[in-house]
Each structure stands twice: as C-alpha cells, then as structure tokens.
Amino acid sequence: MLGNLTIDDVVLPDGVTYMGTLGGNSIHVATAIFFNNVAPITIARKGEDFPLEALKSFKDAGLSTEFILPIAGPTVRNWVIYEWNGDRTWLYRTLKSRSLEVSPEPIDISVQALEGVTVAHIAAMPLGNAERLVDHLRSVVPEVTIILDTHEDWINGYEERLLTLARKVNIFVPSKEEVLDLTKTSNLEDAITELGSYKLENVVMKAGAQGAYLIRENDRVHLNALPVAVKDATGAGDAFCGGLAAGVALQLPIYDCVAMGIKTASVAIQSSGSLRLIEK
C-alpha cells in the first residue's frame, strides 16, 4: 500500500486528546490489512525528524518497514479535531505544501517492493501523486488490482481529472460526502444513481454509521454498519480500506471484501491509536 506518515495531535469531541501520536493513512491501512492475516508492503516517506521509536511497535508486530523511505525536511504534523457528528477539521502545524513533498512518487516503488504483489492500495494523497502512481503501476504491473481512496481536496474543480483517474483503477473508494460533491447532488439516492452512470468498474462508497455501498453500472448493494460503541473514529476510513484490500488479496467476492472492510473499521473505532488493531 502507498500512503503517508504523520505525527498527529488528536482532539476528540469529549475533550480527550492524544498528542504526538503516530499517524498517517499508511499506518491505519497497513495495520488493518495485517489484522486480516495478510502481510502488507508499506511504501511511504518519513521526514528527517520522524521519531525512530514511533515505528517500533509497528515493526515488532511483524509489519515490514523496509520500504518506508527517509527524505530531507520535517514530518507533517497536524491537529485533527473531531466533532460529535463525525466531522473533522485538519489544522496543519507544518506548511500544507509539505504534504506534496512527503507523498509517494513512482521513484519510491522498487522492483523488490512489487514482487508477488496482486493488490495495490493508494491512500488519500495529493491528486497529482495519485495520478502518477496509478499510471506507473499500470505500466509495470498491468494486472495488479488497484484500489483508490480519495482526499476531500480532490473534488471541487477537479471532477474530470478525478473521474479519469477513477476509470483507470479497479475499485474506487470515496466517502459519502465526496460522492455528493462529485455528483453535484443533494441526497444520497440521486448521488448513487448519478455515480452508477459513470461506468466505473467498482465503486465502494464509505458511509460511516450508514455502512457502505457497492455501486456498479447495473448493481447497487448497501451493507449496514455494525452496531458498536465508538471511542475514536480516527482512521476509520483507512481501516475500512485496509479490510477491503485484505479481502481482495484473499480473492474473496467483492461483497465479502466490503463486509470485511466494515468489520475491520468497527473493531478499530472501539479503541484509540493508529496501532490499535495490532496491539495485544
């Protein structure tokens, strides 16, 4: 999987804070894949000030850090502030432009990293980086199943670029809010109908407490969320994607892959921390 590494200061709606935590979508996705008994390869960049001990538990659990590559400059650090309704606000403590520099590029993908790979998950990152990664993967491992997660900054003003990219991948995984923005609709039913007309191979829409939707040209399936007590929703979407990717790697039917994503996210949100799925 390809994504980012950050240091996060998380503020929950009840005032509980988690300062200086290991963050980044690459960690949440990789641990979710590992939770489902699939060994992930994590390709990410770490800043020169990234604390070495932060990855110790990740590595000690058996996850590979071989392809987490050092780069010059600081690690991205964020405030992540959650509201009771699930909304979140990101406040960048480093320059927002730094996200471009720490996101993976094709040059980071070695031949060794691709050995035996059948599934590639591209986590949310700047759109240009995602475009370059998809094109590179299609050229060097054309049969790989590519899963693409979205970033909320991709939508407005970039709709055609995003749809062009989504048509190059096998599974497109936007959130409900991103689908509403992309389709320029105001309700979910109209959004799903519009999305189904875009002729994408598989769309798996993350819908939070409403579960997830599998949308294809002639197929619409809604899978309910599991009823659990939510402690910390940080990384829930990434945990879902990790479960989904694990199901694809295990060659399960697409419906079962979506269900695995829901189950994995439901386990993750009952506790806190980016390593919660691998902590004993």
Third-level CATH fold of 6-268: UDP-N-acetylmuramoyl-L-alanine:D-glutamate ligase (3.40.1190)
Please tell me which residue, 31 or 62, carries the higher pLDDT value: 31
pTM of the predicted structure, to 2 decimals: 0.93
* Angle in degrees, CA 226, 178, 252, rounded to 5: 45
pLDDT at 194: 92
Q: Is 53 helix (H, G, I), strand (E, B) or coil?
A: helix
Please tell me which residue, 135 or 231, carries the higher pLDDT value: 135
Q: Find tokens 């730094």 and name the residue.
A: 98
Please tell me which residue, 22 or 165, carries the higher pLDDT value: 165
Q: What is the mean pLDDT of residues 7-13?
A: 88
Q: What 8-state DSSP symbol labels residue 226?
A: P
Q: What is the mean pLDDT of residues 21-32?
A: 93
Any alpha helices (H) in the chain, and if so which ranges? Answer: 25-35, 56-60, 98-102, 127-140, 159-166, 176-183, 188-196, 236-249, 254-268
pLDDT at 280: 60
Residue 52 makes CB contacts below 8 A (sequence gap 6+) with none
Question: How far apart, in Å, do the first and last CA atoms of the chain sit?
Answer: 23
